Amino acid sequence: MRVLIAWQYGHNLGHLARLLAVADALRLSNADVVWAIAATQRKSATAVAAAGYKVMPAPPGMARAPSTPLVSYVDILNAQGFAEADLLSSQIRDWIALFKSEAVDHVLLDNAPGAQLAAYLLGLPATQVSNGFDAPPSGCPPFGLGMRGPWVDARNQQRHDALSARIADVATRLAGHARATLAAMLGHPWRWFDCVVETDPYGRLRSSRRGDAYIGPQGRPPETTEVAWPAATRSQSPRVLVYLRGSAAPETVLTALASHGAQVICAWPDAKTVDVELAAQRGQIVVAGPVNLNRALQEADWVVNYGSSGFVCQSLLAGKPQLMLPSDTEKYLVARTVQSIDAGVVIRVPPAHSAANFQRTVEEALTRLPQARAPAQQVAQRYAAGSWRDQLTAAVCNLVGAREPLAGSTCSHPNTVDASQSA
């Protein structure tokens, strides 16, 4: 079986980590794996090639800033080149040509809607790896941000229907496929969610399908730096693991934590030297490079993060209460699911010009984290007995259709894993 991994959008290390884990599991199951990666992901493409995989440039997407506030995933797709039939036709034609030239048997999708539509039009089997955000239910329900009500629902339905008609037009042009719809495209691939239902933005709205699976967090970022906790400044000082980027106002958060006397390890990838030095003056440790987050996470009392879906999920499975400062719509929806089960607190980061009271807001939110400990630990206990590696192996074996053990393969007992199952 020849599997092509199509990675079109998404820039952080979490995408690479989870895809390498899946690719390695496929390779162990005797699948031939090749990659198509967006040209903007040069470092990731180099890392994939170094792991022994063939890498090709993905057909260029058409991503642009949305012209209106994001109401639903329809707006995301329109911003990714689905808003204009001619541009969409060109992109899909390129994906179809790539699939045919590589004699692909199965497509593995990571935030690759163009490849997803192309696979559907070809009738090519596909599996989507997702944190849930880019795999919405077929109706693309509104996110529930900003304005709400019947007018918003009706306007979203209009955009949904217009996009569905555009997909049908493109399908007719390229494949004589007159019945193509947005719902059919979204429902075509199997879906593997590298999360748990408690962090899936649409988890409670999903219906289980044979071949869908929650495979939990897969892969890990590099763990090259071991960091010891700083000395406590107060008795009973909480240990707080912080993972933030500049858009989530790290300096304000670190100042608020200092007022609590917290012991802080902060992974801040875009920190400058002055940021590291200022934190050190407060007795806090800021690391701009890769940190052993797994060890620090197990030893932490609280977690503060910017809503990165992989890290939010790992923190929840470690039973840690979280303060989440999401930096975009996707991260906010993930964080909101954790807050909905009382396992964390969400704060929207205000624009710089209106951030006068933001530190006070953060300090107040930190006082609420102890109350989130019990709900977080309940989720962790729910999944403690399982193995996410086993979940991935079962899903891969189901994909490759293994019925007998393969020579040198991990597939000895293939099982279909339903989306309703937990680890």
> Tens place of pLDDT for every residue, the chain, 423 residues?
999 999 998 876 778 889 999 999 999 999 999 999 998 888 899 999 999 999 999 998 776 766 678 899 999 999 999 999 999 999 999 999 999 999 999 999 999 999 999 999 999 999 999 999 999 998 999 998 877 788 899 999 999 999 999 999 999 989 887 689 999 999 999 999 999 999 999 988 888 788 899 999 987 655 567 888 988 767 678 999 999 987 778 999 999 999 989 999 999 988 999 999 999 999 999 998 777 788 889 999 999 999 999 999 999 999 999 999 998 899 999 999 999 999 999 998 887 656 678 889 999 999 999 999 999 999 999 999 888 999 999 999 989 884 333 344 455 433 333 443 333
Count, residues in the chain: 423
Residue 340 and residue 215: Cα distance in Å, rounded?
22
Judge if pTM exceeds 0.85. Answer: yes
Residue 209 and residue 275: Cα distance in Å, rounded?
48
- Is 237 within 8 Å of 301 (Cβ atoms)? no
Strand partners, 323: 304, 345
Please tell me what DSSP assigns to residue 78. Answer: I
Q: Which residues of 266-275 are buried (b: 16+ CB within 10 A; e: fewer)?
A: bbbbebeeeb
Query: What pLDDT was estimated at residue 224?
Result: 60
Assign 13 to helix, strand or coil. helix
- Is 240 within 8 Å of 258 (Cβ atoms)? no
Instruction: Find out if CATH 3.40.50.2000 is the number for domain 2-220+386-400.
Output: yes
Residue ranges with strand state E in 202-262:
213-214, 239-243
Residue 73 and residue 138: Cα distance in Å, rounded?
10
Q: How many CB atoms lie within 10 A of CB 289?
A: 11
Residue 188 and residue 185: Cα distance in Å, rounded?
5
- Is 334 within 8 Å of 312 (Cβ atoms)? yes
Query: What pLDDT was estimated at residue 234?
Result: 72
Assign residue 283 a region: left if phi > 0, alpha if psi is -120 to 50, beta otherwise? left
Edge-to-edge strand order for the sheet containing 213-214?
54-57, 32-37, 2-7, 106-110, 126-130, 190-193, 213-214
Residues of the chain with CATH 3.40.50.2000: 2-220+386-400, 239-383
The closest of 4, 12, 8 to 327, measured between CA atoms, is 12
- Is 54 within 8 Å of 35 (Cβ atoms)? yes
The closest of 264, 301, 257, 293 to 280, measured between CA atoms, is 264
Please tell me what DSSP assigns to residue 352. Answer: G
Q: Per the structure block, which two tokens stand in for 83?
A: 């808003």
Query: What pLDDT was estimated at residue 272?
Result: 92
Assign 221 to helix, strand or coil. coil
Query: What pLDDT was estimated at residue 64?
Result: 73
Strands 302-305 and 322-324: parallel
Strand partners, 190: 127
Residue 271 and residue 275: Cα distance in Å, rounded?
6
Query: What pLDDT was estimated at residue 411?
Result: 59
Q: Which fold has domain 239-383?
A: Rossmann fold (3.40.50)
Edge-to-edge strand order for the sheet containing 344-346?
285-287, 263-267, 239-243, 302-305, 322-324, 344-346
Q: Per the structure block, which two tokens stand in for 420?
A: 């309703």
Location of structure tokens 């599997």: 3
Strand partners, 4: 34, 107
Q: How many CB atoms lie within 10 A of CB 20?
A: 20
Query: What pLDDT was estimated at residue 195?
Result: 94
C-alpha gyration radius of the chain? 22
- Is 229 within 8 Å of 239 (Cβ atoms)? yes
Please tell me what DSSP assigns to residue 244. Answer: -
Query: What pLDDT was estimated at residue 408?
Result: 46
